[in-house]
Amino acid sequence: MGRSVELVIQMDIQEAAVPVQAAETMILTDEIVALIGPNRSSHAIEVGAVAQRHGVPMITTAATNPAVTAAGEFVFMAAFTDQFQGRVMAQFAKETLGVNTAAVLTQRGEVYTEGIAEFFIAHFSGFGGDIVAEEFYESGATDFAAQLTSIAAAAPEAVFLSGLPPEVALVTKQARALPLQNAAGEPTLFLGADAWDNPTLLDNEEAAVDGSFFSSHFSPDTDEPSARAFIDAYQALYGIAPTGGDAVSYDAVRLLLESAERAGSLDADAIRQQLLATEQYAGATRIARYDENRHPTKSAVIMTIENGAKKFYQQVDP
């Protein structure tokens, strides 16, 4: 359209009320034409209601809970849903790794962690697996002895740990020290989700995550041309490889720009219609189409961790 883009940015949001207030200000005072983000599902659900009320297109970035788009037709996701990645990890554990018994350790009070754990449990059970223990902890917890001792008594082959990097590092360290083992006396395998794709976990020397597997949005080792263009540009700018969260954030912006270009207008409903009409999008990740809930149909990748570094293991298509 030949027009410059001005970004209005609010970063490092922790409290749930802050993104709602920021979105209201951006819409009413800054007169933005669309919202990109937030990253967290709990924030995105609340901001989605604001976007829908004002009729402003919104594309979330790394938020994955399916309820993110529940506010209405103006809210879209760039990331896959937890329903999908919960199935991906459950099927991978049961059919690829041959895991028959699993425990689940979940952070309470977080839409993302509780949601993905529930989806994993439902799908793992559906594939014929047995959930032998389910334990919980609060955000900011540092001592997991009680939960790990309870899990150890069940001797699961794997533990699905959907938590955030600070707690994941502590849980895995304490589990190995216990030690947490399966019925054969071998170390219990840890499985995670896309929140694991974070340097604060992988660079933490105390995290005992080698040999673990987790789902993510993309691999920086891909040879897909559109993704490689993003990866090369990102590395040139920041000197490090992008994470899955970086990839879907890039895609959210590009999806908006491409939709506005096709619409030939900055009219909110015209952009919304073009977002809904998206087909075979190719960016850092790929989106085949959007469904009736404005969830993208797209692939996931499974990463493993070797010597403290993530490594592509396999791609899982929808």
Decide: 77 and 61 in contact? Cβ < 8 Å.
Answer: no
The count of C-alpha atoms lying within 13 angstroms of the C-alpha of 199, restricted to the half-sphere facing its C-beta, is 5
Nearest to 193 by CA among 107, 85, 92, 298: 85
DSSP string, 21-50: HHHHHHHHTS--S-EE--SSHHHHHHHHHH
Q: Which domains does the chain have, with CATH numbers?
A: 17-80+224-235+243-298 (3.40.50.2300), 83-216 (3.40.50.2300)
* 17-49: pLDDT as tens digits: 788 888 899 899 988 999 998 999 999 999 999
Residue 318: the pLDDT is 86
User: Rounded to two decimals, what is the model's pTM?
Assistant: 0.93
pLDDT at 30: 85
Write down the pLDDT at residue 19: 85
**Residue segments in the chain with a per-residue pLDDT below the cut of 70:** 1-14, 16
Q: How high is the pLDDT of residue 79?
A: 98
- The pLDDT score that the predictor gives to residue 259 is 97
